[in-house]
Amino acid sequence: MKYAVHLDSRTWKGVERLPDEVRGRIIRKLKALEDDPRPPGIEKLTGPENLYRVRVGNWRIVYAIRDRELIVIVIRIGHRREVYR
């Protein structure tokens, strides 16, 4: 089953400001999350929320999965130095 990937407007504007090469890789990874929200190489983050992160080079996508509604909610996309702050 396909999951729907949701980004809020602030997160999407951040993606639009990325360099073309990085933006393309991020968008391809977001599309891949529609088919498999738990691909090889993801990590579950520690903390009270069920958040996951996937690497795209030096960039990270932090997201939550709602299996009952088949939704992937992207919380944050950022460079590895800044995304966890």
Which pLDDT belongs to residue 37? 96
DSSP 8-state assignment for residue 39: -
Which pLDDT belongs to residue 49? 82
Q: Looking up tokens 């299996």, which residue turns up?
A: 67
Reported in sequence order, the residue ranges of 1-85 that DSSP labels E, i.e. its strands, are 4-7, 43-44, 51-56, 59-66, 71-79
The structural domains of the chain, ordered by start, are: 4-79 (3.30.2310.20)
Task: Give the pLDDT confidence of 1-21 residue by residue, as tens digits.
Answer: 899 999 999 999 999 999 999
* Strand arrangement, sheet containing 71-79: 4-7, 71-79, 59-66, 51-56, 43-44
Q: Flag residues of the chain having pLDDT under 50.
A: none
Which pLDDT belongs to residue 66? 95
pTM, two decimal places: 0.91
Which pLDDT belongs to residue 22? 95
